[in-house]
Every structure is written in C-alpha cells, then in structure tokens.
Structure 1
Amino acid sequence: MGRIVPVVRRYPFVLATVAVGVGGLALLAADRTELSRWVVSLYALAIAAKHAWSMVVDLRHGRVGLDVLAVMAIVSTVLVGDHWAALIVVLMLTGGAALEDYASARARREVAALLARAPQHAHRVGADGTVEDVPVDDVLVGDLLLVKPGEAVPVDGTLEGSPAAFDESSLTGESLPVEHAVGDPVLSGSVSEEQVATVRATELARDSQYQQIVELVQAAADTKAPIVRLADRYAVPFTAVALLIAGVAWAVSGDPVRFAEVLVVATPCPLLIAAPVAFIAGMSRAAKNGVIIKSGGVLEQLARIRTAAFDKTGTLTHGRPQVEDVELLDTGHLDADEVLRFAAAAEQYSPHVLAQSVVDAARARHLVLPAASEVEESTAAGVTAVVDGRDVVVGKASHVAGVTGRAVHEGAVVPGRMTVYVGVDGVPVGRLVLADEIRADAAATLARLRALGVRHEVMLTGDAEPTARHVAERLGVTDVRAGLLPVDKVKAVAGLPDRPVMMIGDGVNDAPVLAAADVGVAMGAKGSTAASESADVVVMLDDIGRVARTVAIARRTVRVALQAIGVGIALSVVLMVVAAFGLIPAIVGATLQEVVDLIAILGGLRAVRPGRDEKPTAGARDPHDGLVPMAERVTAQR
C-alpha cells in the first residue's frame, strides 16, 4: 500500500481514467447505458480540452507535437458515438507519462547504479589506531582510511600496507579486478575485492574522481536544455498525412465514422518517447564507460562528427616529458647518475612539469636525493641551489652559461626533443634529453574515428612546427597548425569547413577552443576544471580511446532512435490505410495503436545494449610509437 500511494499521486489521471472505465462498465451492468455513455464521453472531452490547452501553450512557444491527432481522435469518436474507443485514447494520453518514466528509468539504469554507488562514509584510522566512521566530506588529505571487502574507496588516495585488488568497472568498464601495489594511486569508486585495503587520502571528496563523475552526471540529468526529440521533426508531416487519409476516407465513404477510425490509429503520442529514451540510454552507457555527455543535443552532434581536431600535449601524447638520456659535457667531473642526482635534488621543490620529470627519472634509478638549500627559481630560465655543499644550476643553456660564466656547448638535438642543462661548481657538466611519449592507442583511435565517418583530422597545438610535425607524421595526421595561442585555436576551429567539428584537448588553455567547437571533448582525468566545464563531453579516464567509443555509442543511439521512429510511423500509416477502408473498428484501432507505441518504445530501449561497432580501441602499441619530441614551447617556459 505504501508504494501505491506515491504512484497514484504522481499519475492521478491514469487512476481517474481507470476509475471512469470501471464506473462506466458498472453502469452498463446496471442497465444504465445512457448514463454510462455520458460519464465516459464527458470525461474524455474534458481530457481532450486539457490537452488542447497545453497544445496551444506549446504552439505559442514554437513547439509542434502530435497531441492534435489524439485530441481530434477523442472528439471525433465521441461525436460518432464510440465513447469507449475515446476512453482508450485517453488512457494512452494519460498513461504516456508513466510509460515514459518507466522506459527512462530502464534507460538510465547505468547512471542510477553509478549514483547509488557513490561513497557516503569512510573508515578513518586515528593516531591511536582506533577506527571511526565519518562522512566522506569530512575526510582530509593525509587521512589513513580502511576499505573493507565489497566497499568503495571513498576518496582518491595511494595504497599502503599491502598489495590489493580492486574492481574498477564503475570507472573504466574493465570487468576484471585490477591489482595494485603499495604506493599505487587508487581512485575513489573502485571497490576492494577480497581484503581490507589501507588507503592514504590524496584528495578531498569533492575533488576525487568518482565525485566528479557523479556531479557531472547529475548536472547532465538536471540540465534544463531538452533532449533533442528526433520524432518532433516528423510531427507536422505525419499529422498532415493522417488528416489527409482520414479526410479522403470520409469523403469517399460519406461516413464520418471512417474519419474517427483513421485518427484513432494515428495517435502515436507515446511514440515520441522512443527517441528520448534512446538518447537517455546512450548517455547512460557512455557514463558507464567513464564518459559524461552533458546533453542529448551533444550526443546527436557526436553522431554526425566529420572533423576531429586534437591538441597534442596531454591528448595525443601523455603530456609528461620523460628523461630519455643523460649526456656528459665534462667527463672529468661527474658520471651520468651523479649529474642526474644533482639536477633532481635542485628541482625536487619546483612545481614545474619538467622538474617533476627529472625527479621521477632519478627515483626510477633509485638515486637518493639530498636536501637542497638556497633554492632560487628564475622564471622561464631555470633553478639554482646548493646541494651537498656544491653550487648547482639547472635549466636552459643560456641560464647555465650565465650562472657558471662558461660557454655551454649545446650540440645537435634530434628535432623536437628538448634539453635541460646542468652545471656544478661553475662547470657545465651535462644535459638531460627529454621527450614526450605518444599514447599507445592514439593511432588506433584516429583510425577508428575514420572508420566511424570522420573525414578530416587536424592537430592544433602551441608547440613549434618541427615538434608538431614529428608527432603528426607518426600518427598519419596531415593537417598540422603549430605555434598557436588559445585565440588562434578558436579561429582555426571556426574556419574548419567540414562540420560538425569535435575538439579534443585538456588543460586550462584548451577551455576557449573546447567551448567554441561544435562538440568539445575534455580529457578530464588530468585536465583542468576549466576545460571540463567548457567541454560538452568529459572523458573521466586518461584514455583517448574512449573518444572513438563515445562517437560509436552516439552513432548507434541516433540510429536506434530513427529506427524506432520509422517502425512506429510505418505501422501507423499501414493501420491508417486499413482503417480508411472500414476494416478496423475504432475500439480495435485504439488498442492496436497502443501496441504500435509499445513496439516503438521497446525499439528505442535497444540503445541500452552495445552495438557491434562499439568495440574498444585496440591497445596494441603502434610500431611507430615511442619517445617523441617535447615541444619547444616547454623549453621556452623554462
């Protein structure tokens, strides 16, 4: 009983229609035929008047729907004396909202499961070893947390204590457990498998991966922008055809009943649910794959993408330079490991991306980094420090030369690679050669997009021409626009002729061009908040292959929606033609139309399932992949 009351309150006209039908039948059983006809007819006309008024309001706002056919069907069947057929049409109208809610809930099941799994509490370990349950919003960076088997990690953190396996399917779609070693990052939302895991919080709840996904999903679900209803495009021609067939049937037969019988089978109001349901299902499936599509209109645009524009650093490449080699400039002083150790010790306090790369390289070689003192960083030049009592300078060749007072022999560098020079005690002793790595699945992603109908790929980057060309050649991209500022990228996207254009990028400098593109896609796993907010699509994982998979989901979703609409309209037209010959009584026609609507809606729900063209991008490493040049732009920043 407790469940029935909310349903009744939500759909009162459904209950009223059923009640009127039961009352009408009771009056018939009591031999009150005339009163039964009046009760059912007046109720049907009242509902028709209500929908007619709503239709007028919609027309004033420029919206055209198919309710006009339903209203005319109700009125005409009442006028010709077939009030029970009118009541069935009324049931279809009043039950449309309930049917849409059911279908939408079915389509949103992945999103609903995603939101339901959002962690609410955390087991925090105190300084004395005691464990207390606290709201997830109270967890602070540095807190030690326990995650029991079957529980979701509440915030992003690093694994401590012992290795553990986690189910990351809600984040990545990966069905198999993922093994993590001590020190590995662990994302919120991943579920501990068979043991208690110990995690050190590295982010607050609001900044953690899973919470960002939840917030984006909720924002997409709550958006006031309507889902593009493909069926609306067919509203006016379908209405015109229905009225034409009904009018001809009346004129030829001379029987107004034919007019009513045709309109009864031409009232596919729930048919309009098929397209939104398909779109919701597509957005839900994308969310399951770690991609947030912010509206149905975006999904429709994705299905028609013809040009894909890419930022380079952080999108086609990992955006994190790696030390490829340590070259000695003065072999009489230090060996390669010592040069790297001094450079990393001086750089370990700098937030610069190159500094972190140097430190990571030293730690990868298991070098112990001593503390540095008197650290001074010069913008766009380098850093000086005292390490183990020795003066160290790291940075551009000109900076090292200026500090040491000695000329630095720069030598030849493979096109696009960048170098960081090191001086110790007034002597230039070596240089570090850094490079950025192409993503393993970048080439496969581009090939997949071409197979999905993308005709033009372009790279838009702030890097120097040689660096950009070097990466583009390895990926097969022929249109390269290098040395661009953010405003130049916006102009470039605006000038691309083959539209719609999808722009994929990350970082705050990509926010303007993501907003300017027909569809902006932010690599949100490492991208900035500004980029994610400006984009229409956010890839929550560091996986560019998800872009191609999302386009495939969008294409299937639109295809399923159009198929559902086509089947519904085709069946309705066939029934109208048959009814025009007087072969379908109005009450039978109304029942058959309900069946047609259900078929169309079930067709739209097929978008819940993946299609054959939604295969993950191959992860095999391309033979041309490897360390590729880091931009001279980065060199200039140091």
Structure 2
Amino acid sequence: MQRFVVSKKNQITFLNGGFLFLALMGHFLLKNTYVVMGALILASAIGVLPILIQAGQALRVHVISIELLVSIAVIGAFFIQNYEEAAMVTFLFLFGAFLEQRTLTKTRSAIKELTEMVPESAVLQLSNGTFKEIGIDEVEKGDYLLVKTGAKIPVDGTVLSGVGHVNEASITGEAISLSKTIGDTVFAGTILENGTVTIQANKIGEETTFGKIIELVEEAQDSKSETERFIDRFSKYYTPLVLLLGAFVFVVSRNLSLAITILVLGCPGALVIGVPVSNVSGIGNGARNGILLKGSEVVTQFSRVDTIVFDKTGTLTKGNPEVAEQICYGEEEKAYSYLASIEQESDHPLAKAIVAFIGKTPKQKITHTEVIKGGGIRSEINGQQVLVGNEFLMKYHQVNLTEQMKRQMKDFEEKGDSIVVTAIDNEVKLLMGIRDTIRPGVKENLKKLKKMRIKNLIVLSGDNQGTVDLIAQELELTQAHGNMLPEEKAQFIERLQKNGQQVAFVGDGVNDSPSLAIADIGIAMGNGTDIAIETSDVVLMNSDFTRLPHALGLSRATAKNRKENIVIAVGVVLFLLGGLLFSQWMNMTIGMLVHEGSIVVVILNAMRLLGYSVN
C-alpha cells in the first residue's frame, strides 16, 4: 500500500490541487461552508499521505527528514482545525517536489541524449560475402560490419573499405563532418552522413569510447562533492534542531500555531537540492561539449587550479612530426631496414614519422624487443643488438658518441628537432632530426587560460631541451623542462604541490599516467591511450585543445553556482524566520510558498550552466 501511494505521488498532487480548486469555488461561487471545509479536509488528508510515508521510511533508517517537519506541521494544523493552511502546505510541498523532479530530469538530458545515440543493430558481413542485420549485443570483436549513409556506426573500429563523411558530435561535441577512408578509426554512436564503408570491430559495447563516455557521465552525475557531503551532515543535525526549536517555542508560548509555523519555515529544501542540481547541470554541459568531468569533486578541485603543466608531444603539438634532416655514418641500407622493422611495431608519433620517411624496405625478423622508458628501444635482429632512441639510451648502453656526433646533435636540437639515434652493435649508424608542429589554436587558448588567472603554464617533455625551449618561447610559457623521464615529471609536479600550487597536468600517453595520477587534476587528451584516459580526472574528447579553457571556466562557473544556491537557500530561511519574529503577515502558507519558490529559483539558477560557454 505504501509503495502504491508513493508511486502515485504526482497523481495525488493534482488530486490535492483539484480539491483546493473546489474549495475556492465553494467559497467564492457557491458560498457553501460545508463544500469548502469538506474539500480542504480531503485535500489535507490525501496530500499528507505520501509525505507521511516518506517521513516514516526515513525514520526507519534513523534519518529525520524534511518530510517529517512537514508532516508534523500539517497534522498540527489539522489538529487546531486550520484546514486551509494544512491543505495549502501539502499541495505546495508536493507540487514543489513535482517541479523539482521535472527540472532535474531536464538537467540530466545529457545522459538521455547520449543513450539515444546508441545504435541498436549492425549489418554483419558473413563469410560468404552476404550481409545480415543483427542486434548490437551480437557483434563480436573482429567482425566485419557494413555502414551505409545515415546509419549510426555501431562499434569502435577501423575502415577496411569505402570512403565517407562522419559526424562525430557525440564524441567531440563538434558537428563538423570528418572524411574517413581506409585505415581511419571510427567511433560507436557517430553518424555516417554520406558514403558506404566496411569496418572491422575493434571495441564493442561498454568498451567503446562512446560506452565509456556514458559510463563516466553517469558516474560523475551520481557522485557527491565535498559540499554535498557537508550539506548532508548539516541536514542531519539541522532538522532535529528545528524540531527542538518548535517544541521549545510551544512550551514557552503555548502557541501551537506559532510552533507549527516555525517547523514549516525551517524546511531547508532549497539547500538540499541546490548543490546537486548545479553539479548535474555543469557535468551535463561538459558532456555535450566533448568534456568528461569525472564527478563533482573533480569540478571543485579543477576550479581551484592555478598551475597547468603540459606534456609536449600530442598535447601542445600535433603529435604528427616529420623527419627534417638526417646524417648516415655507414651501412645506410642496412640501418634503414633495421630501423623501419623496429619502428613499424610502435604507435609512437616519432616512429610513424620514421616509417613514413624510409618508405618500403625489406622487413627484418626481430627476435627480442625491450622498451626503455624515457630512452627508446633495444632490439635484436639477426643476432645484432640494435638501439633506437635518444642520447640517454646511447650513454646508458655505453655507445661511443664522437665529438662530431655531439656537435651535430646539438645543431639539430637548436633547430628544434627531436633526436633519434640508431646504433648497431654499439656503433652509431644513423642520426635523425624530427620536428613536430604546434596544434592550431593552442597559442590563443593558452592566452585565454592566462586571462582566467592561471599563473603558471609549464611544459615537461622527454624531448631535448632545445626543442622544448623553442616551443615554450613561441607559446610564451612560464617554464620549460626537457630530457625528463616519467618519474621526473611526477616528482616535478610533487614539488609544485609542496609549494602550495594547485596543479593540473595535461597529457596523452602511457608515460603520462604517473603525472596524471599524482596531479590535483589529471587531464587526458581523448585520442590518447586508454590508461591515460582511465587515470585522468578530465577527458578532452578527440584531443580538442580548445576544450581546455571551456572545461576550466565551466568548473569555476559550477563551483560559483553552488555557492550562489547555498546563499539563496540560507537567505530564504533567515528571511522567513525574521519575518515571523518581526512582522505580523508571516504564516505557514506564505512560508511554504516562499520555500517552494526558492527551490525553483535555485534550480533555474543551476540550469543556466546548461548554456555556459567560454568567451
């Protein structure tokens, strides 16, 4: 019975309102006291039922809720035969809860919009070349799927054949169509606006980028911030305090109506709802703009950041460098063959640049490979040790670098090149200088961050100091540090934190994971590695650097909005209690009306975040 009553809460709200309307008609049109009294009694009795049940449910878990305050107030008003106020209080409380739920549902539209983008089926290519439509749950990794114009791409995959233009707004927040051809990556939930492509499924279901977005946004919107936890604790003690105050006033004054009025005026409804709705609205805005904020605590911490540290490659730069110059020290063909064979196994941007530069060459069988963090790669080919990496790797393996080689490496560094040295059996055979270019719009967005009171913009890189200095000079960064290993980056961030700075780190690679984890806020570029995305607090989908100022501004706006809602909620309670003490016009009905109005105000204030955009 209790479950039925609570499930019909909205219907009871409008039935309650109907009886109130009948009471008004009875008073002004029929002039019939019995109709008025009967309608008000029915409105009060029906309206208080779901409120009483929810109060009882809370008491069973030892929580004194707002519903208990309202229940006692309504029963008290009923006891002193103040049926009009009892009926109005129940209606306003129920109708306020109805408006609150409707508005919260609207602010959670980001989740609804995302889930509606999830494709329900896929077209599977069978082994005999025919096609069959199957449910999305039946798709397996490695399946070949056909996607036609206007269809949603069902999985994360690689284009095997065909050409098309894909709208990736569900992933990046940008509605600009991108051309996709053989070898390109496509994402689940995006739309093929024109063309026909065949793709191979690499990630399915919750493993897809789109699946992770939905999961992360759901977790973020359900999480609680430090402010919310404080308010929960505050309400736990505040509600009993109001009850005691009401009881004290009754004992001293013997005025039951005054005591009941205090209970109604003391309801902190707007305080309880104001902070969560701000968080939901802010996180929802981020989700629609290609920004994943992993929880309200992240929003709080991000809003306090005053220092941002960047990885260089793939973050400040495009991550698609090219070989700018090279020097060969003998056995050129063999060195090229060995180098290309090793780099073909790597997804590192420098490796891709080398493979593209060398082109087709006989591939060698690699019998052993070891990745040296911050240094490069050590491999064995045809019984020979092959080292590919930077100067640190060569020194570590005691490779002889002549004075001429050191001068040439220094010349490359001064030009902004990243150095890649190839040594076979501890003899240097190739020296390559590879350059990356700065991402479009990075400089302008860094200026926005400075205007947003970010005091320090720092780049940390495993690249040589000369290259890092050139990047820092062009982008007008505060500090630049090169030749850094992953653990040195993390140690540098720790030192900043010990100096009292609130640090955000922006990166995209596996080697960035320690820094992403140790920073106050870790920000991952969405096209980076899975481990970087999992370790981070904020994800910029599609590695869109322009989203960074928006993410920071949104976090600060959300934190400010929460404070505004707290001020509104507390201010309303103080105003009502002041009105009760120092005026004659304050009563239960007016108090409840103002309370419900304040709930709507804090919700509408929070909903402004849905339209937030950085200038």
TM-score class, shorter-chain normalisation, is 0.7 to 0.9
* Offset, 1:419: 3.2
Aligned to 1:144: 144
Task: List runs of 5+ in structure 1 lacking aligned partners.
Answer: 616-638
Q: Give a deviation string over 1:336-391, Cα, whole Å, max 9, x none.
A: xx7996465433543373443311333xxxx43334357665765655658xxxx9
1:163 counterpart SS class: strand
1:286 aligns with 2:282: no
Structure 2 counterpart of 1:587, from 566, 580, 589? 589
Superposition pairs for residues 174-193 of structure 1, below 5 Å? 174-193=174-193
Q: How does 1:544-563 map to 2 (within 5 A)?
A: 544-563=545-564
Deviations 1:51-97 (A, max 9, x none): 66677788x78xx9766764664466445542332333334445555
Match of 2:325, SS state, is strand
Query: Structure 1 vs Structure 2: percent identity of aligned residues?
Result: 24
1:526 matched residue in structure 2: 528
Matches of 1:426 and 1:263, distance apart in 2:
84
Partner residue in 1 for 2:316 = 316
Cα separation, 2, equivalents of 1:381 and 1:13: 66
Q: Which residue of 2 aligns with 1:477?
A: 477
Q: Does 1:488 align with 2:484?
A: no
1:317-466 to 2 correspondences below 5 Å: 317-319=317-319, 321-329=321-329, 342=337, 345-347=340-342, 349-351=344-346, 353=348, 354-362=350-358, 367-373=359-365, 377=369, 382-383=378-379, 395=388, 409-410=404-405, 411-413=407-409, 414-415=412-413, 417-421=417-421, 430-461=430-461
What is the deviation of 1:135? Answer: 3.8
Matched, 1:497 2:500: yes
Larger mean Cα displacement after TM superposition, 300-309 or 20-29: 20-29
* In 2: Cα distance, 1:345 partner to 1:427 partner: 18
Task: Tell me if the contact between 2:40 and 2:87 (Cα under 8 Å) persists in the aligned partners.
Answer: no
Change in Cα spacing, 1:189 to 1:226, as seen in structure 2 (3 Å) is: farther
Return the letter of the residue paired with 1:536.
D
How far residue 13 of structure 1 moved from its aligned partner, in angstroms, is 4.7
Instruction: Tell me, yes or no, if the aligned pair for 1:92 and 1:270 is still in contact at 8 Å.
Output: no
| Greater CA drift, 449-458 or 407-416 | 407-416
TM-score norm. by structure 1 comes to: 0.74
- Cα distance change, pair 467–230 in 1 and its aligned pair in 2 (3 A): farther
SS at match of 1:151: coil
Are positions 1:11 and 2:3 aligned together? Answer: no
Distance 1:90 1:13 in 2: 12
What is the one-letter code of the residue matched to 1:145? Answer: L
- Whether the aligned pair in 2 keeps the contact of 1:209 and 1:540 (CA below 8 Å) is no
Alignment TM-score, normalising by the size of structure 2? 0.77
CA contact under 8 A between 2:419 and 2:464: conserved in structure 1? Answer: no
Separation (CA, whole Å) in 2 of partners of 1:245 and 1:425 = 86
Contact 2:107–2:277 (8 Å) recurs in 1: yes
Residues 1:219 and 2:219 aligned together: yes
Work out whether residues 339 and 422 of structure 1, in 8 Å CA contact, stay in contact via their aligned partners in 2: no
Post-superposition offset of 1:585: 5.0
**Which secondary structure does the structure 2 equivalent of 1:526 belong to?**
coil
**Contact 1:47–1:90 (CA<8 Å) still a contact in 2?**
no
- Cα-Cα RMSD: 5.0
- When structure 1 is superposed on structure 2, of 466-475 and 143-152 the one drifting more is 466-475
C-alpha deviation, 1:283, in angstroms: 0.7
In structure 2, the CA distance between the partners of 1:375 and 1:325, relative to structure 1 (3 Å rule), is farther
CA–CA distance in structure 2, aligned partners of residues 424 and 294 of structure 1: 47
Higher relative contact order (CA 8 A, sep 6+): 1
CA separation in 1, counterparts of 2:533 and 2:148? 32
- Greater mean alpha carbon deviation, residues 148-157 or residues 574-583: 574-583
Distance 1:323-1:278 versus aligned 2 partners, 3 A rule: same
Secondary structure at the residue paired with 2:194?
coil
Question: 1:507-522 residue pairs with structure 2 within 5 A?
Answer: 507-522=509-524
- The verdict on how the C-alpha distance between 1:574 and 1:244 changes in structure 2, with shifts beyond 3 A counting, is farther
Alpha-carbon separation, structure 2, partners of 1:438 and 1:26: 71
Following the alignment from structure 2 to structure 1, what is the Cα–Cα distance between the partners of residues 136 and 339? 36
Cα separation, 1, equivalents of 2:281 and 2:470: 40
Query: Cα–Cα, structure 1 residues 149 and 340, in superposed 2: closer, same or farther, change >3 Å?
Result: farther
Alpha-carbon separation, structure 2, partners of 1:322 and 1:9: 69
The equivalent residue for 1:602 is 604
Alpha-carbon distance in 1 for matches of 2:308, 2:208: 29
Q: Does 1:539 align with 2:513?
A: no
What is the Cα deviation at residue 106 of structure 1?
0.3
Structure 1 residues 151-177: Cα deviation after superposition (integer angstroms, max 9, x where no partner): 211122333544321211111121232
CA contact (8 A) 1:167 1:192 kept: yes
Q: Relative to 1, partners in 2 of residues 1:383 and 1:503: Cα closer, same or farther, differing over 3 Å?
A: closer
Report the alpha carbon displacement of residue 286 of structure 1 after superposing the two structures with TM. Answer: 0.8
Partner of 1:198: 198
The 1:374–1:585 alpha-carbon spacing in structure 2 relative to 1, beyond 3 Å, is closer
> Offset of 1:475 from its aligned partner?
3.0
1:274–1:604 Cα contact (<8 Å) kept: yes
Work out the CA distance in 2 between the residues paired with 1:68 and 1:206.
42
State how far apart, in whole Å, the 1-side matches of 2:343 and 2:533 are.
29
Bigger Cα displacement from structure 2, 565-574 vs 246-255: 246-255
**Amino acid in structure 1 at the alignment position of 2:537:** D
Q: Which has the higher helix share?
A: 2
Seen in structure 2, the aligned counterparts of structure 1 residues 8 and 256 have a Cα distance that, compared at 3 Å, is closer
Q: Structure 2: which 5+ runs fail to align?
A: 27-31
CA distance in 2, matches of 1:574, 1:275: 20
Count how many residue pairs are aligned between Structure 1 and Structure 2.
Answer: 590
Deviation digits for residues 549-584 of structure 1 (CA, Å, limit 9, x no counterpart): 111122222333444454455566556555552235
CA distance in 1, matches of 2:519, 2:17: 54
**1:248–1:570 Cα change, 3 Å:** farther
In the alignment, is residue 274 of structure 1 matched against residue 274 of structure 2?
yes
Write the deviation string for residues 605-636 of structure 1: whole angstroms up to 9, x where unpaired.
Answer: 2222124xx24xxxxxxxxxxxxxxxxxxxxx
Q: Give the 3-state SS of the residue equivalent to 2:128 in structure 1.
A: coil
